Each structure stands twice: as C-alpha cells, then as structure tokens.
C-alpha cells in the first residue's frame, strides 16, 4: 500500500537542498525503496529541521543586528542637540527637516572655517542640524550692560525667524583664554543658521572690558553692536543682589551693599567697586567710540 510519500514527486518528497544547502544522503535514494526512503526521509527531515533552525537563527541574528544598528543610529541622533527653532524659521524648512539627520565624528570644515554639511544633510562635526545650515560668525552682538535686561533683549530678538542666537554667553572677546583659542573656536560656539539669518550672541561683560572694542573691530568693522542700559543705581543694586545670592548659596558671607558702594572714609561713591564701576556708562562708552580711530 502506498503511503503518500511514494506518490509525491521526488522534488517535494525529498528536497535535495534545504535552504540552499545540499542534502546528499537523500537526493541519491531510489524512489521504490519506501521503507528506506521513510527512514532516510526522517533523517533528512531531522537534518533539515536542524539546518532550518540554524539558518533561521542566522537570519534572526542578522535581522536583530540590523534592527539594533538602526535603533543605535536613532539613539545617536537623539543624543545630539537639534535646533528645532530653525524648523519654523525658514520657508524651506519643511523639506529640510525630513533630511536633517545624521552624525559623524569627523571635523569637516570649508576653506573659510565653516562647518561642512554634505549632500545628505549629515553634519561633519557630530552635530544634528538642518541641511543648508552652518555655523556662522555673528553679525550682531549684545555687548551689555549686565543686569540691564540683556537676556530679555536677546530672547525677544530671537523670536524673529531671521535671528539665530548663541545659546549661552560666549565671552570670546573679554576672556583672554577664550580669545586665544581663535576665530574658529568662536564660530564653533555659534548656532547653525541659514545664510539669510543673522547670528547674534550676547556677552554683557564686553561693554566694560577694555580690549573688547578693538578686538571686535578687528574681526568685523561692520559688526552691529547692541547696548541696553538701565538706571545705573538700580543696575548696580541688581548686580550686587545677584552676587550676594550666589554667595548665600555657598554659605559665604558678603558685605552689605552700602559698605561696598561707598568709600568707608570719604563716604563718596566708590567707583572702584565693580557694580558701581559698571554703571558709569560714559567711561566705557568712550572706549567704544574711540575704537575705530
């Protein structure tokens, strides 16, 4: 009595290859020897199952590796600081956003020192940002005055889509250690921006630092300088209060404002005290006005 196995075409009954691997012990068997056939078939089936399991494991592992690699890519991308503000700030951004993924550790720079972005929208400096954006030197700087509302001014300006602000105070022109790092370092502190945007940074200490006007002038003599001032006495008190609270946070003592602001002997205003000195605007302004000569 035939058992079904013998009625099957050889190719279905005894696959000569299992997942592309030859099964020689089976492919040479005569069809009529059904008993042998069955036992061999079982052998082959067992082997086939093993091989299938083996190759499925390989396939599964490959899939897992690819999946993990993809997730790793996403994870890496998420580590970077995207600058979503630009997403809404350019008419081209809706197209750019979908392409703005990628990361690499290479430090690619163009001849003028700008960070290069390749055609896929991948940054060459390990940062995630939008295609066609790059780090550019500022065209405007809020130079001060400290405690006069410089942060508010920067944030308000930054509401405009054509403005790209540096996220923190850069202190390039007033701190010698930063200035010595050079113009590329300074550019690197800037946000990614489109060509038609104005990059802006604020470092209120610039206004009162003697070297700053000349340094800015040397870098760009058409730089737009923004100065916001406040009632000098209120500004000095605000300045004192900030430092006082920092001292308190560290459980450190700090003199009273009147003891610092007034000369202890003459009781005149102590213009050597920094909070007062900063408020004598005309002295600092003279430095700026004389710079280009």
Ligand X SMILES: Nc1ncnc2c1ncn2[C@@H]1O[C@H](COP(=O)(O)OS(=O)(=O)O)[C@@H](OP(=O)(O)O)[C@H]1O
Of these residues, 131, 134, 135, 147, which one is catalytic? Answer: 147
Q: Which stretch in 89-97, 144-152, 218-226, 259-267 sits in contact with ligand X by CB under 6 A?
A: 144-152
- Nearer Cβ to ligand X, position 26 or 148? 148
Instruction: Establish if 102 lies at the interface with ligand X (CB under 6 A).
Output: no
Binds ligand X by CB under 6 A, chosen from 148, 166, 190, 208: 148
232 binds ligand X (CB under 6 A): no
Contact call for residue 246 and ligand X (CB under 6 A)? no
Residue 63 Cβ vs ligand X, minimum distance, rounded to whole Å: 53
Q: Does 275 bind ligand X (CB under 6 A)?
A: no
CB of 254 to ligand X, least distance (A): 16
Question: Cα–Cα distance between 275 and 147 in angstroms, integer?
Answer: 10
* SS3 assignment for the chain: CCCCCCCCCHHHHCCCEECCEECHHHHCCCCCCHHHHHHHHHHHHHHHHHHHHHHHHHHHHHHHHHHHHHHHHHHHHHHCCCCCHHHHHCCCHHHHHHHCCCCCCCCCECCCCCECECCCCCECCCCCCCCCCEECCCCEEEEECCCCCHHHHHHHHHCCCCEEECCCCCCCCCCHHHHCCCHHHHHHCCCEECCCCEEEEECHHHHHCCCHHHHHHHHCCCCEEEECCCCHHHHHHHHHHHHHHHHHHCCCCCCCHHHHHECCCCCCECCCCHHHHHHCHHHHHHHHHCCCC
* Closer to ligand X by Cβ: residue 3 or 155: 155
| Residue 151 interacting with ligand X (CB under 6 A) | yes
Binding-residue pattern over the window 184 to 223 for ligand X, x denoting contact by CB under 6 A: --------------------x-------------------
120, with CB counted inside 10 A (0-12, 13-18, 19+), is exposed
Q: Which span (17-25, 34-42, 149-157, 180-188) binds ligand X, by CB under 6 A?
A: 149-157
By CB under 6 A, the count of residues binding ligand X is 10
Question: Is residue 109 a known part of a binding site?
Answer: no
- From the CB of 113, what's the least distance to ligand X, in Å? 28
Q: Is 89 annotated as a binding-site member? A: no
Give the nearer residue to ligand X in terms of CB position, either 144 or 213.
144
Establish whether 147 is a catalytic residue: yes
- Give the residues lining the site for ligand X (CB under 6 A): 146-152, 204, 238, 241
Annotated binding site for 3'-phosphoadenylyl sulfate: which residue ranges? 147-151, 230, 238
């Amino acid at each position: 009595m035939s058992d079904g196995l013998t009625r099957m075409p050889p190719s279905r009954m005894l696959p000569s290859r299992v997942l592309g691997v030859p099964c020689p012990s089976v492919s040479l068997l005569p069809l009529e020897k059904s008993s042998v056939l069955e036992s061999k078939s079982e052998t082959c089936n067992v082997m086939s199952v093993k091989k299938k399991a083996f190759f499925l494991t390989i396939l599964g592992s490959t899939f897992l590796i690819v999946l993990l690699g993809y997730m790793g890519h996403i994870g890496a991308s998420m580590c970077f600081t995207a600058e979503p503000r630009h997403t809404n700030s350019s008419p081209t951004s809706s197209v750019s956003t979908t392409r703005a993924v990628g990361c690499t550790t290479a430090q690619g720079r163009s001849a003028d020192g700008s960070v290069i972005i390749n055609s896929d929208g991948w940054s060459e400096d390990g940062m995630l940002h939008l295609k066609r954006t790059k780090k550019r030197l500022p065209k405007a700087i809020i130079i001060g005055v400290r405690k006069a509302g410089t942060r508010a001014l920067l944030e308000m300006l930054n509401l405009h889509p054509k403005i790209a602000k540096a996220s923190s105070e850069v202190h390039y022109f007033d701190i010698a250690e930063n200035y010595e790092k050079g113009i590329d370092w300074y550019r690197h502190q800037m946000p990614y921006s489109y060509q038609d945007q104005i990059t802006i940074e604020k470092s209120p200490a610039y206004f009162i630092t003697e070297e700053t006007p000349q340094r800015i002038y040397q870098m760009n003599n058409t730089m737009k300088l923004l100065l916001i001032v406040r009632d000098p006495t209120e500004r000095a008190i605000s300045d004192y209060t900030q430092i006082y609270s920092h001292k308190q946070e560290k459980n450190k003592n700090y003199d009273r404002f009147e003891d610092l602001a007034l000369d202890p002997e003459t009781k005149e205003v102590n213009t050597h005290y920094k909070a007062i000195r900063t408020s004598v605007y005309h002295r600092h302004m003279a430095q700026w006005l004389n710079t280009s000569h």
